[in-house]
Amino acid sequence: MTRKIYLFCSAGMSTSMLAQNMQKAADAHKLDIHVEAFPTGKISNLVESDHPDVILLGPQVSFNFEEVNEKYGATTPVGVIDSADYGTLNGERVLKYAILLLKKHKAA
């Protein structure tokens, strides 16, 4: 079963480059993971229609964390991408963070 990791930022542009790097890392490790980026305005529709396994927010929209976590955190882990990893487009580290969130959520 393919795991879906969705990244959200203001417009989805800078985050799409990070999502591509994360996808490359997932593919390199032969992980059944699909990574995609979207603008924050689409969170509600995408969570209801696609049921992502992890929701990651870009540092520039981290102020949305409480609201998004309150709405979806019970069923879907929500995290904020580290600004250093975001700035360097470190797909490997952000992918590891997403997987860690998923494991913690399942264990809870």
**Catalytic residue annotation:** 9
| Alpha helices for the chain (secondary structure H) | 13-28, 43-50, 65-72, 83-87, 91-107
Measured distance CA(15)–CA(9) in Å, rounded: 6
Residues 6+ apart with CB under 8 A from 45: none
